[in-house]
A and B are shown apart, each in its own frame.
Chain A
Amino acid sequence: MIFREVEDRDLIAKARRGDVEAYNLLVSRWEKRVFNYLLRLVSNREDALDVSQDVFLKAYQNLRKLDAPEKFAGWLFRIAHNEAFSLLRRRRPEAELIPEMGSPDSSGRLLPMELSLAVESALKRLSEDQREAVLLKIYQGFKFEEMAEILECPVSTVKSRLYTALELLKATLAPTVWRGDAQG
């Protein structure tokens, strides 16, 4: 992880000097994480891909404004957050369809794919702010302080959103997942 950070910093320095290939390498390291974060937020693959491209383009254009290269991840996700919510605001008037939860098979136990779908569905039932808090913490591993910087809000707000989301997820997933678990 330390070596990775050093390498990222080196790539950032090169990209700042106009080395596009160095930046492409940096993109290749982060694109999957950014794409998955955006995919869970905007719930559409094409939109997530388009926004991902916009994110990396904006990041490249503003790379010189990044004060601390070691904070690249948080800075990148802040751009991604802004781009995603910009899209969500434009899209808001549309009715949002929430898919049905996955249901257990005849044995009561959920298959891995079904479990994954159940989680995906449960995440979609959260508010955008709550979902984003879960994505940044559970799937991207950011600390509360880093999340507060990305979301531009106090740590207390981050914790509030995340804790509420976890309670909702527990309530949503428990009947499906644990019933199957108990029967299995």
Chain B
Amino acid sequence: MRFDLVTALLLAAVPSPAPAVVERILAVVDGRPVLLSEVAVFGKVRGQQERPALDGLIDEQLMYHEAARLPQAALSPEEDERALASLKARVQASTPDEEEQLLRLAHREAAILKYVEFRFRPQVRVAEEAVRAAYDGQAHPDGQSFAEAAPAIRERLAQADLSRRIEEWVKELRRAAEIRYNTVPRAGEGAS
């Protein structure tokens, strides 16, 4: 009897292994759940923590669903392969599941980029005055002339303009979408 009691006390004292959460719904975007494992792979690819990765994945899903509606954003098998190769060059999958997820991620990213190239790139305009102003507004210790510096400045401004347009697009998508977080929303944002 005493032995049983001691055994029981000893067993109670041994900590049982803590359960690990391997999956859950972090958010719901237009009725589609965004899962923990998807966010983990996305964060791994982007090098982000869970919260920014979740926001990034939500943005990406919104953009992809918009892009997928446009036939011009449809990918050929070769484009799919190139996108996957490019992604695998940056990130190594550690499990077959991750491999599968990377494949989907690569597809989504490539489709979004194709959509962006089709929809926004042609709208990007860089005025010569803006290039001149940017040149005048920065120091040139290497003595680079305007003609020499202009192509790089023009490219930089074009990229900035494209980025601005994409940001506007994402804001618009977020406004139109129904997003509900199961986690704590980021600062200054109400959970819905």
Partners in one complex: no
Which residues in A have some Cβ–Cβ distance to B below 8 Å? none
